Structure 1
Amino acid sequence: MKTAACILALSILGLAGNGMAQESPWQVRMRVDYLKPANKSNAVGGIGASDRLQVNSKTIPEIDISYFFTQNWATELVLTYPQKQDVTLDGKKIGSFKHLPPTLTLQYHFLPQAAFSPYVGAGINYTHISNVDLLGGAGQLDHSSWGLALQAGLDYKLDKNWSLNLDVKKLQIRSDAYAGGEKISRVQIDPWLIGMGVGYRF
């Protein structure tokens, strides 16, 4: 009986030790991203050349939260605060707007135990558009946009918790543009986001 109790106690301690040794499924990263819009648009009012409407490039902060279902598979929620963008027509500023673009991706990590761990991901982007001020208040954009998101990146482990990260995303962000209540163009912002940052695995 004492032998059986000792074996049971050792087994429980062994399971507890294994559970403590396992990596946490949670990871947080902070990145600085360079946002580069594709800037594709239809001819304004159906007249003239296309791509006359442009949105500026800029550098933005980003925080993302990842949850690992397995060593290889994870989901990542990418967040920032509302970003202000300037809009130009034929190079002349016509106003601005703000956008909040949370993105959710499903990732596959090829070499999760290696020092250099590449990954790819795909998912969806929801962009909320607000504070639109175009053409002195006469211009408007859609309030929201749903689109696809593609991602590729690389983690370099510094130790069991900290890592460096390089990440590239392509987002699908699109909106109709209006003036005086009439649609005048279809805008494809569709930005690239090229980011670098640090990650912490709990």
Structure 2
Amino acid sequence: MSRFTIQLAAGLLLAPALLAASVAQAHEAGDVIVRVGAAVVDPQESSSNVFVGGANTGLEVGVDSNTQLGITGTFMLTDNIGIGLLAATPFSHDIELKGAGRFASIKHLPPTVTLQYFPMAKSSAWQPYVGAGLNYTMFFSEDLSSNAEGAGFSSLDLDDSWGYALEAGMDYKLTEQVYLNAAVWYADIDTTANFRTAGIPSKVDVEIDPMVYMASIGYKF
């Protein structure tokens, strides 16, 4: 058998494998994609006025942004439908009593579950998606500033929140297992901050409603 014949036969045997590699799938049913990166929570807050014992003080509050380690996951139910989960290390925010300086600091965790739709064919390296679902935000470590405590404020407590969430994102396949990802969420987060002012029950309602931005590296299992 000639050398050319051997090379031709080897090429014919390898062709199916090379073709399979060239059309290797991106996301398909049963895949699990885990992504890790930087997540920024940017509150788009609005608040009622602070009420002290039923009296309107005319003061409002503001909430600053924070960046933490974000973790997301997707389980593909079909080639185009997935279940998404957003988690993170605890976010920390300062609360400002507008016109009176820093009022308190808080922490929260915002686990969010969404149903995701991937419109592209599973063979595409680009996998944009949109999703909608439910957010639960748990507040903890509510600490008043020393100035607030000195002014007679005490016993701060924020109600946990349930609300809807919307998302949009994009996965880009670098290798068979590794992806780049960028994503954005909107979360409906409303809470009531209860506290005391010189012993008098006080409260303020806050719509935090943050935009959440995340850039990450993903791995497909």
TM-score range relative to shorter protein: 0.7 to 0.9
Correspondence for 2:50: 44
**1:70-98 CA deviation, whole Å, 9 max, x = no partner?**
01000011111222211111161111111
**Partner amino acid, structure 1, of 2:209:** D
**1:115-148 CA deviation, whole Å, 9 max, x = no partner?**
2111000111111111112333615233411111
Q: Does 1:55 align with 2:74?
A: no
**Partner amino acid, structure 2, of 1:77:** L
Within 5 Å, give how 1:11-26 maps onto structure 2. Answer: 24-26=30-32
Aligned to 1:129, which of 139, 146, 149?
139
Aligned to 1:159, which of 168, 172, 175?
175
Aligned partners of 2:216, 2:108: CA distance in 1, in Å? 22
Aligned partners of 1:100, 1:34: CA distance in 2, in Å? 13
Residue ranges of structure 2 left out of the alignment (5+ in a row):
1-23
Aligned to 2:214, which of 176, 195, 200?
195
Aligned partners of 2:173, 2:90: CA distance in 1, in Å? 31
How many equivalent residue pairs? 180
- Asked if 2 retains the 8 angstrom alpha-carbon contact of 1:139 and 1:177, the reply is no
Deviation for aligned residue 1:183: 4.3
Identity among equivalent pairs (%): 37
Greater displacement, 52-61 / 68-77: 52-61
- Asked if 2 retains the 8 angstrom alpha-carbon contact of 1:130 and 1:143, the reply is no
**Partner amino acid, structure 2, of 1:114:** S
**Partner amino acid, structure 2, of 1:115:** A
**Partner amino acid, structure 1, of 2:48:** N
Aligned partners of 1:139, 1:42: CA distance in 2, in Å? 19
Q: Does 1:102 align with 2:102?
A: no
Greater displacement, 141-150 / 161-170: 141-150
Q: Does 1:30 align with 2:26?
A: no
Q: Does 1:88 align with 2:96?
A: yes
**Partner amino acid, structure 1, of 2:168:** A
Residue ranges of structure 1 left out of the alignment (5+ in a row):
1-20
Could you state the TM-score of these two structures normalised by the residue count of structure 1? 0.82
Aligned partners of 2:92, 2:212: CA distance in 1, in Å? 16
**1:21-79 CA deviation, whole Å, 9 max, x = no partner?**
98552110112122110121011223426xx3111112121111211000100001111
- Asked if 2 retains the 8 angstrom alpha-carbon contact of 1:73 and 1:109, the reply is yes
Correspondence for 2:124: 114
SS at match of 1:38: coil
Radius of gyration: which is bigger?
Answer: 2
Correspondence for 2:201: 182
Aligned partners of 1:183, 1:121: CA distance in 2, in Å? 38
Could you state the TM-score of these two structures normalised by the residue count of structure 2? 0.75
- Asked if 2 retains the 8 angstrom alpha-carbon contact of 1:103 and 1:123, the reply is yes
